[in-house]
Structure 1
Amino acid sequence: MPYLKLRDGSDLFYKEWGNPNGDTVTFSHGWPLSSDSFENQMAFLADQGYRVIAHDRRGHGRSAQTWHGNNMDSFVDDLQELFEHLNVHNAMMVGHSQGGGEVARFLGKYGTSRVKKAVLVSGIPPLVVKTEANKDGTDKSVFDSFREATRKDRAQFLLDVASGPFFGFNRPGAQKSEGQIRHWWQQGMNTSFKATYDCIEDFSETDFTEDLKRINIPVLVLHGDDDQVIPFKAAGAKSVKLLPQGKLKVYPGGCHGIHNLNADEVNKDLLDFLRS
């Protein structure tokens, strides 16, 4: 399996599939998952002749379980090293949830010299937590309860998230997929306890407002209007207004994991945006 040795000696796991000479699409996963979360999209675009790249963030999946550096600035520095290592240019970046924040912060910090387009799927930008200036955000007490549940029984907490709000399986009449639940839970449990805990603060309290304003390339925002994890009104609806070249598509009834439950539709939207 391919690994990149990072500046601090940590190993970063990545996948590189498809046509090595094709246009590049990169994927940044959400909390507390891994690159496996995007396997459907990666396989689909690889079959279409694209070069697809995804990594497990430090602390996640098969990457090193570092004690420090479980924060957005470290994550994007790692990603910059990966892009340099793999000679990524003229790419389209795709990020889900916290990975959407990673895409926004990467472009805000490093610019768009390597990237031509971006897609935020159920992304956390501009800001998740409720503040005086962000009335539509989620109260901090919710994330305090996440931290408490992680410390008390992480395995059960992650199972509850996957079985309920992440996929909308707690909605009346929802058809549960035991496979999706188990796959999500497995990814979450492969992430280190420390990264799981630290990233609750990172994804909820990092403000991406200024990053979004600086992104001078086309950005497609995909968001479900029944996202119980990162509500559309507080995230996708605001992000598209801050992006200079933002384009929005709302998935009616869509949950937080639209790239998993609405994979065919998301795949088509990604391909159409690539080709546009």
Structure 2
Amino acid sequence: MNRLAQLFAVSTLAAAAMASHAQPAAQPVARAVAATTIAAKDGTPLYYKDWGPKDGPVVVFSHGWPLNADSWESQMLFLADQGYRVVAHDRRGHGRSGQSWSGNTMDQYADDLAAVLDALNLKNATLVGFSTGGGEVARYVGRHGTRRVAKVVLVGAVTPIMVKTPANAQGVPMEVFDGLRKASLDNRAQLYKDIAGGPFFGFNRPGAKPSAGQIDSFWRQGMLADHKATYDSIKAFSESDFVEDLKKLDKPTLVIHGDDDQIVPIETTGRATAKLVRNARLIEYAGGPHGITDTHKDRLNKDLLEFIKR
């Protein structure tokens, strides 16, 4: 038996011995781990992260497509170190949450966010939504009100509506989303590589230096998601109309958007959203792509902290 095998055998025996003498006092640890998943009203498991001091001011994050809570790690780590309690869940069908066949709609996403807030009894929370998550936050307000909400931040959000319609003549043509659906069915693994290696982080711009790590992280998160959920979500984030939801937003609101966002163009989303929400403040990141949570994370962290502390 070589040295590595001996070490493995010794550690296994030690673990078994410890387990045989374990006391009931160890049970709360298991319960704490299990508590990282809660059930939506239809029973779908929703995975969540809950970082920072539990008595700190609450900030809740909603992620973009096809990502999960990991996409917020830079902001969550920064704010947790500042004394904030930061919570982020994986949307149903994404990351480590349950892969329900149905329910991949904006209404259900908003109800799932409500389930997280209610289960953890979060109050006076700042809700931060990125891209699809911005729509999720807006629809949450439209369906559940602002009883648990102190402030709202919409980052590169899909609000008020993305797709081109008679009422939204400058929106993104439906053909773009049909192409996205086709690419998803043809080879979604390659689609995620192409999105991350191109427009999402702005790596297709002249002089840009692509980050293999950021591309791989996007791809990994996308491939953790359920194929059905990510396919259905294209309709949810592109065709949902959030105009009436935004009109119900009666809390201080910050809109942050990159002015070189090739995924969610700023003119019909970020700028239009800021005009619809009463007393909203708009911050534009010059040259900022869609993925500013990574490419402009230091500035975003600073802007978030400054807004939340007010």
TM-score range, shorter chain: over 0.9
SS of match in other structure, 1:112:
coil
Could you tell me which amino acid in structure 1 is paired with residue 217 of structure 2?
Answer: H
Output aligned runs, 1:9-28, within 5 Å.
9-28=43-62
Taking the aligned partners of 1:140 and 1:239, their CA distance within structure 2 comes to: 20
Structure-1-length-normalised TM-score = 0.99
Displacement of 1:82 after TM fit? 1.0
Pair 1:234-2:268 in alignment: yes
- Percent identity between matched residues is 54
Taking the aligned partners of 2:46 and 2:262, their CA distance within structure 1 comes to: 31
SS of match in other structure, 1:233:
coil
Tell me: higher relative CO, structure 1 or 2? Use CA pairs within 8 A at least 6 residues apart. Answer: 1
Taking the aligned partners of 1:73 and 1:216, their CA distance within structure 2 comes to: 20
Partner of 1:76: 110
Q: CA RMSD in A?
A: 0.6
Q: 2:179 aligns with which of 124, 141, 145?
A: 145
Structure-2-length-normalised TM-score = 0.88
Pair 1:39-2:89 in alignment: no
Partner of 1:191: 225
Could you tell me which amino acid in structure 2 is paired with residue 38 of structure 1?
Answer: W
Taking the aligned partners of 1:225 and 1:154, their CA distance within structure 2 comes to: 27
Taking the aligned partners of 2:39 and 2:286, their CA distance within structure 1 comes to: 42
Aligned residues: 276
Taking the aligned partners of 2:54 and 2:72, their CA distance within structure 1 comes to: 19
Taking the aligned partners of 1:104 and 1:8, their CA distance within structure 2 comes to: 22
Taking the aligned partners of 2:283 and 2:39, their CA distance within structure 1 comes to: 38
Displacement of 1:7 after TM fit? 1.9
Pair 1:129-2:157 in alignment: no
SS of match in other structure, 1:165:
helix
Partner of 1:211: 245
Residue deviations 1:123-161 (CA, integer Å, cap 9, x gap): 000000001110110000000000001111110011100
Displacement of 1:223 after TM fit? 0.2
- Runs (4 or more) in structure 1 with deviation over 4 Å come to none
Structure 2 gaps of 5+ residues are 1-32
Could you tell me which amino acid in structure 1 is paired with residue 247 of structure 2?
Answer: K
Taking the aligned partners of 1:62 and 1:144, their CA distance within structure 2 comes to: 27
Displacement of 1:6 after TM fit? 2.1
Output aligned runs, 1:81-100, within 5 Å.
81-100=115-134
Displacement of 1:108 after TM fit? 1.4
Structure 1 gaps of 5+ residues are none
Could you tell me which amino acid in structure 1 is paired with residue 70 of structure 2?
Answer: D
SS of match in other structure, 1:132:
coil
